[in-house]
Structure 1
């Protein structure tokens, strides 16, 4: 390499360094701001997490405190005084209040709380389904069979963990209406379902036999303890 070529490269390198320094002076604040935003965002996220955790703990303490009374009516009043703006937490609180209202023999209040949860689109579906299922079962004596049947059919069609329990309720309604064959067919469908639990399987077997039917066990994961 000639001296002139070496000199040109040195000059070029100097120019690159000068250009880089100029860019840093001009745009370096953007990089600094980005770093601050990242660090600040992480800190804010941790702050929010700690806030959410603190709120959940405070809500839990409030609910536990409300349940300390020996009187169901007092527990209901204490739970109704607990406040939360978080939809999922409010659903849990409402269902807990409904449970205590039942203990206080306030069926209307319990159903009202459960139905409010069942129709709240801001909470997860499983909460709505549990609330609807419980509300329907509580109204076995006060709601007409067709309306309850429609409710349980909707739960059964929605799938999820309550699907088979909803079918069991439909079978019970069939028994109440004197439709023994329909009840046996529904219980047989439960018995043959791959997702049937041992307890529900046992109940289906017992009711089918009690109704004079013969359980078809093929395809059902029979529990040996059910024998």
Structure 2
């Protein structure tokens, strides 16, 4: 390579460097903004998480302190004074209604409002329906209670099996013991029914004179004698 060619290459390289530096000087701030945005976004996200965790802990502590109050009226007052919104408000409404010594009519109204609140998770809304039916008892027409519970017996609904159990008890209330036993036995065989519910159903079925089917051991497993 001649000295002239080498000189041309050096000049060309210098021009490229100058263009690159000029580009950095012109647009380098964009990268800085992006970095600041990423760092700032991460910091904001962490702050929000910490804020929510602190809020949740404060709510839980306040609820626990209120539930430890022995006097029913003071307990209800303490629960009502806890600031809450969204899902926390739903939890408070359910806790207020769970207090048997509280204001029954007020609890029923709160549960009805919660069950109709489309902004709340379906789980809380369905729990409110079941609790309202249970709390109202004979003060609510049996047909109305059955209609409310039947609306929850839909595949995929979070409280489907609990609603089916409550419907079986309504059959008992009507004196329809054979139908109630049939419903309970079917629910006992439901794979989605929790273990605690199945144990509870077994006790009721036996008490009503029914027979719980024996558990079938999985293939390859010998049943224990017993």
**Shorter-normalised TM range:** 0.7 to 0.9
Deviation at 1:220, TM superposition (A): 10
Structure 1 residue 22, shift from structure 2 partner = 0.7
Tell me the residue number matched to 2:27.
27
Question: Structure 1 residues 220 and 75, CA, compared in 2 at 3 Å: closer, same or farther?
Answer: farther
CA RMSD in angstroms comes to 2.7
Corresponding residue number in structure 2 for 1:113: 110
Decide which of 154, 157, 164 is 1:157's aligned counterpart: 154
Indicate how the Cα distance of structure 1 residues 162 and 220 shifts in structure 2: closer, same or farther if over 3 A, else same: farther
Q: Which residue of 2 aligns with 1:194?
A: 191
Quickly say closer, same or farther: Cα 1:210–1:166, change in 2 above 3 A. Answer: same
C-alpha distance in 2, partners of 1:97/1:210?
32
CA spacing shift, 1:95–1:214, aligned 2, 3 Å: closer
CA distance in 1, matches of 2:157, 2:214: 23
Give the equivalent residue in structure 1 for 2:142. 145
CA contact (8 A) 1:184 1:213 kept: yes
Aligned to 2:59: 59
Name 2:39's counterpart in structure 1: 39
Q: Please list the CA deviations of residues 126-180 of structure 1 after superposition, one character each: whole Å capped at 9, or x if unmatched.
A: 1222222111111221111111111211222153452222111111111222333
How many residue pairs were aligned? 221
Provide the C-alpha distance between the structure 2 equivalents of 1:204 and 1:146, rounded to a whole number of angstroms: 23
- 2:184·2:205 contact (CA, 8 Å) conserved in 1? yes
Asked if structure 2 preserves the Cα contact closer than 8 Å seen for 1:209 and 1:215, the reply is yes
Q: How far 1:62 moved relative to its partner? A: 2.9
After superposition, the Cα gap between the structure-2 partners of 1:59 and 1:210, relative to the gap in structure 1 and judged at 3 Å, is: closer
SS of the aligned residue for 1:156 comes to coil
CA contact (8 A) 1:192 1:219 kept: no
5+ unaligned residues in a row in structure 1: which ranges?
none
Q: Structure 2: any 5+ residue segments left out of the alignment?
A: none
Per the alignment, residue 72 of structure 1 pairs with 72
The farther-off stretch of 200-209 and 72-81 is 200-209
Pick closer, same or farther for the CA change 1:220–1:149 going to 2, 3 Å.
farther
Alpha-carbon contact 1:192-1:220 (below 8 Å) kept: no
8 Å contact kept, 2:90–2:114: yes
Deviates more, 1:18-27 or 1:175-184: 175-184
* TM-score normalised according to structure 1 size: 0.83
Q: Residue 163 of structure 2 aligns with which residue?
A: 166
Q: Distance in 2 between matches of 1:28 and 1:118?
A: 55
> What is the TM-score when the length of structure 2 is the normalising length?
0.83
- Change over 3 Å in CA distance of 1:42–1:9 after alignment to 2: same
